[in-house]
Structure 1
Amino acid sequence: MANPLLGVRVTTATLREVPRMEAAAEIARRRARELGRPVLVSVTTQVGLRDPLALFARGAGVTHNRFFWSVPAANFEITGLGAAWSFTPPLSTDRFAASAEAWRQLMAEAVIDADRDLPVQGPLAVAGFRFDPDHPPSELWRDYPHALLLVPRLLIVRHGDVTTLTVNGMVDAQSSTLALGAAAARRLQALIGLPWRPNRPPLDVQVDVSLDPDVWKAIVADAVTDLRAGMLEKVVLARAMRLRGPEPFDTAATLDTLRRDYPHTFIFAVARGGRTFLGASPERLVSLRNGDVAASALAGSAPRGKTPEEDAALASALLQSEKDRAEHAFVVQMIRAALTDYCDAVQAPELPTIMQVRNVQHLFTPITARIRPGYDIFDLVQRLHPTPAVGGKPGPAALAWIRAREQLDRGWYAAPVGWVDARGDGEFAVALRSALIGRREATLFAGCGIVAASDPERELAETRIKLRAMLGALGVGDEMIG
């Protein structure tokens, strides 16, 4: 009997499309023979599916590669399972330019079969990058390289009321043309029988911090000293908290909580090996759709109030804070300058507004532009990362300070994570409000911008506020924050 969250129509549709898959695979086999290398074949069809997250949950026991992306306010979700193709550039290369070239070549040679009237057509690649490729990687991030592009074998995209299934596979000159569709049908049939319901029991966890809070505050104080001496204008410092529990963490249930409680954020998850990096980021790094570019400046934070009156007072104080307004202006200035290199019609409001999420509010400025011919989303990601909101200003000096003094391997935290499609459109978030979760352990990350007027105690309190999102989604109370 089919599970109602992953209806039988998914498998029925897949079986119905097997002839299309095999016809596309035959074309790809001939093309692979001519080129002398494997070719991607991708077939997209419309299916009935109520919740892509159910597929992500069921895939936990089937594949080590899973992806989830949700923008609840936009009624948009993606789930990817398996790896049809993946690419990590050599460390010696420009990771963004190499990723762009690899993606262009893959798409130029691919055999793609998709209905033209569908909102999503063809394959997309999951994409993620380390915050700082020059920082020595730790064992914690062993499955998350300095750059990664990955095309899932099975891809579900829900956009409004329309849900599509894309089946992807690499075909070489010797591949059996019967393998693609039959394998896809078998995988989906197996997934339908696996039960999943969100389960959010409170966890009895042990908490550890990567650095003693007093040591972290001392690092902040050192940064303030250097800032006042004019060595930097701003530096962003992060810290980590580790949780250990007697029972396994349920990452799908965590994502379900995040999309319910933070509908105006970018919910993301990249599962690799035995760990899942996930979060609910309020900050878009950049999106590109049909030439239209959108980015966000998000810097300057305050807690939410316990009453509407207190909430409004805190928002008003944030809007009037010279320290926070100056920090925000740094970010807006940098993003506008960066986009001008590759875009026309760069526009942003003169004054920030307030973005409110469940437990924190930020100064927010949306920025739009029109990309010039010859450039792509990888150019934009490379030019924008890291923004002063997660690195500092000047950028190279701030990164060097972080690398030398922060005492933390950020891995993919505060770095670009997102997706790119066959047309070159895509969306990247800054991986904030996030955690790297293993079976019975989780590492949570939070940071804040340090300027000359910063107070170490207040900055520590700000990280505690930002940690609440992930702690709550994991079923852990605020009283556990160090």
Structure 2
Amino acid sequence: MTAPSTTRRATGVTALSVETTPLDDVRQLIPFLDSRRPLVWLRKGEGIAGIGEALRLEFSGPDRIREASAAWRETVSAATVSDDVHTPGTGLVAFGTFAFADDSAATSTLIVPEVVLGRRAGRSWITRIRRTDDLDAATTALPRPTAFGDEYRLTLLPGSLGKDGYRSAVASAVERIREHDLSKVVLARELTAHLPAESDVRRALVELALGYPDCWTFAVDGLVGSSPETLVRVHHGTVTARVLAGTISRGRDAASDNDAAIALAASTKDQDEHRFAVASVLDALRPHSADLAASDLPFTLKLPNLWHLATDIAGTLSDGASSLDLADALHPTAAVAGTPTRDAVALIRELEPFDRGRYAGPVGWVGGDGDGEWAIALRCAQLAEGGDLTAFAGAGIVADSDPERELAETVMKFRPIVEAFG
């Protein structure tokens, strides 16, 4: 994988040649990945894994997702594609991760790999992608899995907002909500560590994929995590989303676990928080779908470490929007920002003494036909080039939030990353 990638910010289109062919069943994708900068999207053992970079598109500012969508359409128009498999994730695809805030210092990226290995519904494939100005280069050989590096354990420590600081921020947010026309704000805090140069990030991915099989396990440009929340999925004209808001810890036995689920479903605070999140998604998607529908009542979703209130939303696209277009329309949802959005984001900027980077932004993939799968980047950590690791977790704050309980919720939400790297 020696061909240099191309970086594009505003002008110039790189023409790509894309070929997808079937493979014998590849049951494990993670061993094929780069050990330090893996590129993968998995759920229940199925998904796509990228190797190398044929093209990198970078964006920033308030129009970053819209610009990415436009640039992707141009890239697709200039590409020559041969696809013998025809399933979601074949043909031309790009992995993407986008910053949460308009003024974030973090770069938002779309990455087209040189090789994509995929598996879905028992079918496996390989996609080879080359620039058309480099077609004389040797055909990329079939990648081989490599052994994992030595085990390692990290201790994640509080970042710029410790536990006392977070309690204080929550108390300030509650006061602002009660005094102003603000219904909800989501406040996050961070943990930090340093990953030694020889560490194999794939080990953490295995822990996440096995421990949280119903979540989207991802690694894109150093952002690693396992998110339970589907921001949007587009497939053959159908749009779906899963909204999560409202959380409680799992019980220690069957009886207490059942009691926890019942308590969550009956919680006025959590129901209010969930209602704001669902409304924000419906409002964003209605212009793109005439028959959008959501379940009347949220259901309790069981994850290994906690319960969530969840609502599934589905509809038929009526305007030809791509998955990236819809991610742009949806971000940021009330589940990760608050309500009203502008006021909530302003309060986040005031009370959080750090840049969220790509935490709580869209992460996923888009295909040449505009279909794709995007999650909200939750239960995640960003790995910097030098090895610094920053994990994030947040909680939705409403008028009757208790600072101690909200802190405990962030502890629960840190658990996937703390256990994967620790």
Same fold (TM over 0.5): yes
Of residues 59, 84, 95, the one that matches 2:54 is: 84
C-alpha distance in 1 between matches for 2:317 and 2:73:
17
1:108 aligned onto 2:108: no
Kept in 2, the 8 Å contact 1:249–1:437? The answer is: no
Structure 1 partner of 2:171: 221
Structure 2 partner of 1:359: 305
1:379 aligned onto 2:325: yes
C-alpha distance in 2 between matches for 1:248 and 1:454:
43
C-alpha distance in 2 between matches for 1:246 and 1:119:
36
Q: Per the alignment, in what secondary structure is the counterpart of residue 176 of structure 2?
A: helix
Counting only pairs closer than 5 Å after superposition, residues 74-473 of structure 1 correspond to structure 2 as 75-89=45-59, 91=61, 94-115=63-84, 120-135=89-104, 137=105, 144-145=106-107, 147-172=108-133, 175=134, 177-179=135-137, 182-185=138-141, 188=142, 192=144, 195-197=146-148, 200=151, 203=153, 205=155, 207-244=157-194, 248-271=198-221, 276-438=222-384, 441-473=388-420
Kept in 2, the 8 Å contact 1:210–1:242? The answer is: no
Deviation at 1:124, TM superposition (A): 0.2
Kept in 2, the 8 Å contact 1:292–1:368? The answer is: yes
Calculate percent identity across the aligned residue pairs.
Answer: 36
Structure 2 partner of 1:53: 30
- List alignment gaps of at least 5 residues for structure 1: 1-35, 138-143, 476-482
Q: 1:111 to 1:245 in 2, by over 3 A?
A: closer
Q: Per the alignment, in what secondary structure is the counterpart of residue 252 of structure 2?
A: coil
Task: Count matched residues.
Answer: 409
C-alpha distance in 2 between matches for 1:97 and 1:55:
32
Q: Per the alignment, in what secondary structure is the counterpart of residue 21 of structure 2?
A: strand
C-alpha distance in 2 between matches for 1:366 and 1:461:
26
Q: Give TM-score, length-normalised by structure 2.
A: 0.91
Query: What is the RMSD computed on CA atoms of the aligned residues?
Result: 2.1
Q: 1:197 to 1:292 in 2, by over 3 A?
A: same
Q: Per the alignment, in what secondary structure is the counterpart of residue 341 of structure 1?
A: helix
Kept in 1, the 8 Å contact 2:393–2:410? The answer is: yes
Deviation at 1:198, TM superposition (A): 7.4
Q: 1:368 to 1:207 in 2, by over 3 A?
A: same
Deviation at 1:126, TM superposition (A): 0.9
Supply the AA of the counterpart residue of 2:110: L
Structure 2 partner of 1:12: none
Kept in 1, the 8 Å contact 2:48–2:89? The answer is: no
Deviation at 1:463, TM superposition (A): 0.6
Deviation at 1:106, TM superposition (A): 1.4
C-alpha distance in 2 between matches for 1:117 and 1:376:
18
C-alpha distance in 1 between matches for 2:420 and 2:214:
16
- List alignment gaps of at least 5 residues for structure 2: 1-11
Q: Per the alignment, in what secondary structure is the counterpart of residue 225 of structure 2?
A: strand
Kept in 2, the 8 Å contact 1:205–1:246? The answer is: no
Q: 1:199 to 1:353 in 2, by over 3 A?
A: farther
Q: 1:302 to 1:317 in 2, by over 3 A?
A: same
Deviation at 1:245, TM superposition (A): 6.2
Supply the AA of the counterpart residue of 1:196: A
Give 1 or 2: higher helix fraction. 1
C-alpha distance in 2 between matches for 1:426 and 1:199:
35
Deviation at 1:247, TM superposition (A): 7.8
Deviation at 1:108, TM superposition (A): 1.6
Q: Per the alignment, in what secondary structure is the counterpart of residue 140 of structure 2?
A: helix
Q: 1:213 to 1:164 in 2, by over 3 A?
A: same
